Structure 1
């Protein structure tokens, strides 16, 4: 598989990532630092997207139903050289299905997640997966 995106920016303005029929605005200036995601947050968002896509994928393969998921991702930025380290996630799956094998789901995400495995090459990843009754 190959992937392709485009991105553009205007001097002293912010930037946009163009993916298929979507445009994702992100901040490159200080005036929008509290409004738009920055590149580090987009990086963490890519990790989150990978995990959530795999929850959907493995829900079919592992035969479980869920109403929604929530995912919180935190990471530490180190200074020299600038990089992300110690990525920590907490995934909650809301489901009435009490037989979800979260250990197997975690193993599958860690083994088959493209972004997960790319990040794992350079960054420590720790996380938890838990279930909660439907909301």
Structure 2
């Protein structure tokens, strides 16, 4: 009979701070992120909880793109992602996320499909959201500009 030890879990810590009339800030890693946590007030222009969650999905996709770029290897010269979060009011919850990842690459379509598969399979934030709501997206590619002869 073999026994295996459970994998160690990675722990992430953030700290949020606010006052009743003041701005809110989230401390994550070595950064301070302003956050709009005001209720029934004009928007502050800072990201609120919904934008921060959508930003987490964007960061997850980009981080896994970099990971896949090293492991596959997959070559690209730049990447950009747009994420849209859909929420409902009653009961309050997110119902879905959509994304479009735009890459400048010469990789063939089969490698782009493999990359997309890996982004969906190995993304922690992606998988967490996909377990609770619909997450759909696509990769759009553009070849790098050719250098003049």
What TM-score, normalized by structure 1, do the two folds share? 0.91
Q: Is the 8 A contact 1:102 1:130 kept in 2?
A: no
Aligned pairs for 1:27-46 within 5 A: 27-29=36-38, 30-31=41-42, 33=43, 35-46=45-56
Structure 1: gaps spanning 5 or more residues: none
Structure 2: gaps spanning 5 or more residues: 1-9
Q: Is the 8 A contact 1:16 1:26 kept in 2?
A: yes
Residues 81-114 of structure 1 show CA distances to partners (whole Å, capped at 9, x for unaligned) of: 101112111101112x233612111111111100
Indicate which of 133, 140, 147 corresponds to 1:130. Answer: 140
SS of residue matched to 2:11: coil
- Dislocated runs of 4+, deviation >3 Å: none
* 1:111 corresponding residue in structure 2: 121
Aligned length: 133
Aligned pairs for 1:78-97 within 5 A: 78-95=88-105, 97=106
* 1:55 corresponding residue in structure 2: 65
Indicate which of 3, 15, 33 corresponds to 1:6. Answer: 15
Q: Is the 8 A contact 1:13 1:28 kept in 2?
A: no
* 2:108 corresponding residue in structure 1: 99
Structure with the greater alpha carbon radius of gyration: 2
Distance 2:44 2:32 in 1: 19
The higher relative CO (CA closer than 8 Å, separation ≥ 6) is in 1
